[in-house]
Structure 1
Amino acid sequence: MDGTKPKYALSHINRKLTLEPKVTINSRIVVVGASEAGISFLETLVFCPHLRFNNITLISTCGLPGYHSSSRHGKFKASSHSYNHDDYAQMSLQTWVNVVTGKMIGIDRAAKHVLVTGDTKVPYEHLILCTGEQYQVPCPTGVDVKEMLTNENVTVDPDQQFMGKVPSNLFILNTYTDCENALHWLRKHDTMTHGRVLILLQVLL
């Protein structure tokens, strides 16, 4: 016995809950981002005991989370402290939520629609932005490394963005597709006996 709590395999609903009337909400609710806040928001709407939401849409670059967490490349990403793979499977949000796979690139507030990659327009009445925290390409300071300067001697603009060409061996792990690409690159170059892999850990505040 490893002490692991067994997972339940039975969902029960009784006659009272089946016949209990619910108020149907047909408003178009669009949630952008499958972050922990976004999933928690969807969970609250879906399992509301007296309301039924018929038009909920999630826009996410990788769809609903939980389908890649058990694979090897899914271990590249930081572990969630709120949900795990079993939690996503037991919630089964895909039963109630329409999923648009893509990245939001614009919001037309006058026409009330969201523009997604691929020229897709998703109309909304209520828009919830839950993009979460995302890593980005670090912007070089431009100092000479031979001068052995410290952070106290370097002026860094936190709003500065890297606009140059991203090196082919630099991977920013925001999505499971990014993890797949990084794992494929590592497997392709595992014969390099003198190569080195630099892992940069960035703390998001």
Structure 2
Amino acid sequence: PCYALYHTNRKLMLEPKVTINARIVVVGASNVGISFLETFIFCPHLKFNNLTLISIHGLPGRNLLNTGQRKFLASDHCFNDKDYALMSLCSWVNVVVGKMIGINRAAKHVILSNEKIVPYDHLILCTGQQYQVPCPTEADITKLLTNREIEKDSRQRYTGKVPSNLFTLNDEEDCLRALKWMNENFIPLE
């Protein structure tokens, strides 16, 4: 079994730490967000009392997928499940499960999709790379246009009903949902 061994000596125990009570909110459990929190947690001279992580699926590294199922996602080799277990982020960080939909800078709070409000003193945005449902360009396919000839609008987002067989695989939860759908719709068939 995996274990975490933290060594402290007398010098580190008796050395005074400066307590930081500022509300630091990190949005997104990307590699940058996790690295940021890890650096703050293990800072030898500072003690952060109020670290919060806002993530759609909570803390990563819950070992949801086995080795064969992990092939859905590309590995960046920054953190693996053992690294997450050794860090024990849940001991040091308040985790808010939700999706950020807005920021009120004047009131210094973040608005979540379930209408909850998370106040902050310092806000760190580490959303990582996320894929979205592709938006149809409504180009006339009979004219055989190239990509250069199609007008692009970077603000264009698909807001229609997403088909049940279209999946955007951003994390392990999305992969599990796609795998479950494939097992229900293809495995029982001849």
TM-score (norm 2): 0.88
Q: 2:72 aligns with which of 72, 76, 82?
A: 76
Q: Distance in 2 between matches of 1:157 and 1:117?
A: 26
Root mean square deviation, CA, Å: 2.1
Residue 96, structure 1, aligned to residue 92, structure 2: yes
* Structure 1 residues 9 and 28: CA distance shift in structure 2, 3 A: closer
Q: Per-residue CA shift, 1:59-98, capped at 9, x if unaligned?
A: 0001111113543655422212321111111111111100
Residue 61, structure 1, aligned to residue 56, structure 2: yes
Unaligned runs of 5+ in 1: 1-6, 194-205
Tell me the equivalent position of 1:43: 38
Range that drifts further, 138-147 or 122-131: 138-147
Q: 1:13 aligns with which of 8, 13, 19?
A: 8
Q: Distance in 2 between matches of 1:173 and 1:130?
A: 18
Maintained 8 Å contact 1:55/1:97:
yes
The alignment partner of 2:127 has SS state of: coil
**AA in 1 matched with 2:35:** S
Count of residue correspondences = 187
Structure 1 runs (4+) deviating above 6 angstroms are none
Residue 25, structure 1, aligned to residue 11, structure 2: no
Maintained 8 Å contact 1:28/1:55:
yes
Residue 109, structure 1, aligned to residue 92, structure 2: no
Maintained 8 Å contact 1:61/1:175:
no
The alignment partner of 1:186 has SS state of: helix
Q: Per-residue CA shift, 1:20-56, capped at 9, x if unaligned?
A: 2110111111111111111111011101110000000
TM-score (norm 1): 0.82
The alignment partner of 2:110 has SS state of: strand
**AA in 1 matched with 2:63:** H
**AA in 1 matched with 2:176:** E
Maintained 8 Å contact 1:70/1:85:
no
The alignment partner of 2:32 has SS state of: helix
Following superposition, the deviation at residue 14 of structure 1 comes to 1.7
* Structure 1 residues 73 and 92: CA distance shift in structure 2, 3 A: same
How many percent of aligned residue pairs carry the same amino acid? 61
The alignment partner of 1:128 has SS state of: strand
* Structure 1 residues 10 and 56: CA distance shift in structure 2, 3 A: closer
